[in-house]
């Protein structure tokens, strides 16, 4: 029987960034240090057609031009004036949206910290970077009692990957105080059809709404992160790999918390012969549970972490029973049967996998059939994990980067 492999990605991101660091990029000149104002104060308007500093491959669609839209996004097939957001995917526009909502920049007087705030700025600090900043913007209808500041950063990665069009996108949030304009069912900047953050490439597998999108919880993007710095979210776009098809471009979980309840990857399309990479949190072991869909009949564990050996446990009569000890990382291990849950232990503390750092453990789950699987991976933690001096040792496993969505821990 053919089996499919769903793999949980290695996160070898460095944890040197401070959770309290300023997430906004600045120093680009102009009125506020964010570059040049890209449009006059307006409601529902947009810039002229602009040229990207580098050509991008947006999940199979190549773009050289774009529009900056007042309502918290950039678009590629034409300008976008739609003010009430929708969860992705949508069919109407290819866009990248750090905060799609009804931005209104017409009120240039009340409550502003600077006479040049409540504007949208554009900077191209070099040939490999694009920065768009929505600075202290208000909401419809001309309200400034609450203000949002956020950025979209695109970075050319074609030299690093060797593939033209590869790029990273970053969503950076300085402050988020409102979610909804008056015309979207909001009152006082809240309620109604709340803001959506993410991207839409025109197909469900190539579109993604960040956690909290469409709800008031979207304000939490300013205090959460998937890279260890509050307010900073980074994602890889690679021309040859769609989300979930590579460890540096994983499907992110649908919940953002401290990981104690496990990361949930819901209703993922899975098949045979190819892995789907998803991004969890890590400690000294994991419980894996399949709540619906195909069952698991084998596993491939990450090599190069600690001694590279692990213990596998299966549930029997309501108890965890050791099924195999000393299983080698990097080798496919068969269970001999299909199961809906199993446990992996044996990740050494001195391997420096710290659950308080943005590091995750890569696991290949082999399924027994085609379908849609919902997988929960719950970290097994210890009371004290030494702070690692370096995370370079983790790169020995797969030598790739990924990013796990999680809340900062105290």
Q: Can you list the positions of beta strands (E) in 38-142?
A: 50-58, 61-69, 73-75, 95-100, 103-104, 119-126, 129-139
CB contact set of 243 (below 8 Å; sequence gap of 6+): 205, 206, 208, 249, 250, 251
The whole-angstrom distance between residue 151's C-alpha and the CA centroid of its chain comes to: 15
Given a cut of 90, is residue 242 above it in pLDDT?
no
CB contact set of 269 (below 8 Å; sequence gap of 6+): 205, 276, 372
CB contact set of 12 (below 8 Å; sequence gap of 6+): 359, 391, 394, 395, 397, 398, 399, 400, 401, 402
- Lowest mean pLDDT: which of 30-44, 226-240, 253-267, 272-286? 253-267
Distance CA 10, CA 278 (A): 9
Q: Does the predicted TM-score (pTM) go above 0.85?
A: no
Q: How confident is the model at residue 351 (pLDDT cuts 50, 70, 90)?
A: low
User: How far apart, in Å, are the Cα atoms of 178 and each of 34, 104, 220, 386?
Assistant: 22, 12, 11, 39
Given a cut of 80, is residue 396 above it in pLDDT?
no
- Looking at every residue in the chain, the average pLDDT score rounds to 79
Give strand pairing partners of 373: 268
**In the numeric block, which tokens belong to residue 234?**
């980074």
User: How far apart, in Å, are the Cα atoms of 66 and each of 44, 77, 119, 130, 132?
Assistant: 16, 7, 19, 11, 12
Tell me phi and psi for residue 127, to 5 degrees: -70, -5
**In this structure, what is the dihedral angle of CA atoms 269, 333, 281, 370, given to the nearest 10 degrees?**
10
What average pLDDT does range 337-349 have in this prediction?
87
Domain definitions of the chain by residue range: 4-13+249-407, 36-226
């Amino acid at each position: 029987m053919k089996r499919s492999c769903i793999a949980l990605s290695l996160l070898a991101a460095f944890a040197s960034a401070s959770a309290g660091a300023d997430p906004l990029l600045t120093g680009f000149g102009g009125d506020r240090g964010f570059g040049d104002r890209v449009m006059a104060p307006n409601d529902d308007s947009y810039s002229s057609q602009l040229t990207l500093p580098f050509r991008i491959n947006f999940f199979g669609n190549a773009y050289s031009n774009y529009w900056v839209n007042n309502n918290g996004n950039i678009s590629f097939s034409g300008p976008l004036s739609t003010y009430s957001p929708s969860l992705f995917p949508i069919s109407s526009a290819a866009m990248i949206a750090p905060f799609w909502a009804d931005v209104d920049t017409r009120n240039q007087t009340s409550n502003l910290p600077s006479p040049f705030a409540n504007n949208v700025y554009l900077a191209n600090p070099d040939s490999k970077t694009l920065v768009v900043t929505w600075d202290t913007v208000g909401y419809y209808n001309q309200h400034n009692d609450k203000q949002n500041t956020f950025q979209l950063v695109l970075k050319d990665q074609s030299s690093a990957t060797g593939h033209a069009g590869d790029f990273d996108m970053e969503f950076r949030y300085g402050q988020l105080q409102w979610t909804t304009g008056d015309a979207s069912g909001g009152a006082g900047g809240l309620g109604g059809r709340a803001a959506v953050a993410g991207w839409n490439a025109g197909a469900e597998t190539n579109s993604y709404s960040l956690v909290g999108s469409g709800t008031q919880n979207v304000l939490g993007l300013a205090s959460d992160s998937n890279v260890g710095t509050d307010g900073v979210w980074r994602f890889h776009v690679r021309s040859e790999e769609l989300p979930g098809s590579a460890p540096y471009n994983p499907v992110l979980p649908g919940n953002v918390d401290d990981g104690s309840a496990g990361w949930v990857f819901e209703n993922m399309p899975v098949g045979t012969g190819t892995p789907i990479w998803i991004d969890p949190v890590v400690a000294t072991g994991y419980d894996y549970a399949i709540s619906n869909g195909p069952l698991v009949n084998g596993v491939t564990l990450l090599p190069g972490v600690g001694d590279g050996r692990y213990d596998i446990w299966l549930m029997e009569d309501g108890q965890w029973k050791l099924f195999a000890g000393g299983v080698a990382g990097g080798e496919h291990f068969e269970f001999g049967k299909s199961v809906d849950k199993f446990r992996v232990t044996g990740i050494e503390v001195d391997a420096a996998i710290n659950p308080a750092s943005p590091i995750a453990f890569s696991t290949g789950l082999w399924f027994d059939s085609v379908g849609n699987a919902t997988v929960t991976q719950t970290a097994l933690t210890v009371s004290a994990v030494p702070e690692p001096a370096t995370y370079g040792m983790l790169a020995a496993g797969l030598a790739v980067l990924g990013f796990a969505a999680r809340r900062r821990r105290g």
